[in-house]
Amino acid sequence: MPHYLEEQDSHVTKIAVLGAAGGIGQSLSLLLKTGLAPLVLRSPGSHVHMAMYDVNRDAVAGAATDLSHIDTPVSVSFHAPDDAGLERALTRAQIVVIPAGVPRKPGMTRDDLFAVNARIVAGLGDAIAAHCDLAHVAVLLISNPVNSLVPVLVERLAAHGAEQAARHVFGLTQLDAVRASTFLRDALGSDSHDMPLVPVVGGHSGDTIVPLLSQAPGADALSPDARRALVHRVQYGGDEVVQAKNGAGSATLSMAYAAARVTAKFVELQMGLVPELHDTLYVQLRDARGRLLAPGAEQVAELVPGVEYFSVPVTVTGKGVSHVHGELLARMDAHERAQLLPVCVKNLAANIRAGQEWVAAAP
């Protein structure tokens, strides 16, 4: 398997998957290996390479070798700590996807989970700062808790002098929208092949997740009780998976699917197939000094006072976030504005503060 061929060709789009041997990482890598092939075929002379990194050498070597046998033009390499693998995986990477970390296990509190994963994400942030072009790389964070770890990653990169890091770091919250779409279709009893699109904003855990059913086609046919039940199911859908796995795992396949959809958009952008992408991503609205991320961020910040990070529709170019769109928030109905959003803001502010305080106390 050629490990470093990708570094010799300026027409290569390189994706580094950090934590590629885990439950999300392997599934995500499979979806990227198979799903990105059409993009390569649309762009003659281009190439996509996926560098898979994990601390478990045997697992990542096995997964990458297995994937390399699949007949698509997306090439694969594996990297582990014992051969300067993190540096090699990150060098010349334009897109870094981070599913690294541990899942929540029985008996583990959210604080326990955060403490472990914050150390992992901070270390990866240091490596990204050392080996990537921070003016252009896109960093997509999957590791939980996203609400707290995105601030950890942004501030860790900023500590290395990357003042524009927030424009290039994205928390992936699309699983909430994927679930909302699926659950609404179930609730409506629809037999249509078209999935209803449900805008979801806020954060990525519990009641920080705000499904905007008022702007979802067909949702107005549901009774108020059915809508409340649907909101709760979207907010706590991850618990269904944990319970179904009897505490032995969490949502890996559905998360990998959602993450692969987003990553494909960034690959399409990096390859020059589109001038910009549009998606809902968890981003910093303004920094501690009050500087706005991009045009439009002020409108959103005014609607969600007290939080510096929020999952909201954004436009992204090769230079990072270029615009923040607050139209969905402006169109919320009375229940969403008065009931769902205040709870989201309160709890999200606490999550963000936990991440910032961890960074301040970290060595």
Binding residues for NAD(+): 19-25, 54, 117, 142-144, 255
Going by their DSSP bridges, the two strands 309-317 and 320-324 should be labelled as antiparallel
CA-closest candidate to residue 40, choices 64, 65, 17, 9: 9
What token pair was written down for 143? Answer: 């590791």
**CB contact at 8 A, 155 and 126:** no
What token pair was written down for 11? Answer: 């027409």
Question: Which residues define the annotated binding site?
Answer: 19-25, 54, 104, 110, 117, 142-144, 179, 255
CA-closest candidate to residue 18, choices 44, 50, 53, 68: 53
Half-sphere exposure of 38 (CA within 13 A, CB side): 4
Catalytic residue (choose from 3, 79, 168, 204): 204
**193 among known catalytic residues:** no
Q: Which residue shows structure tokens 């070597």?
A: 61
What token pair was written down for 160? Answer: 């290395």
Question: Which residues define the annotated binding site for substrate?
Answer: 104, 110, 144, 179
Catalytic residues: 204
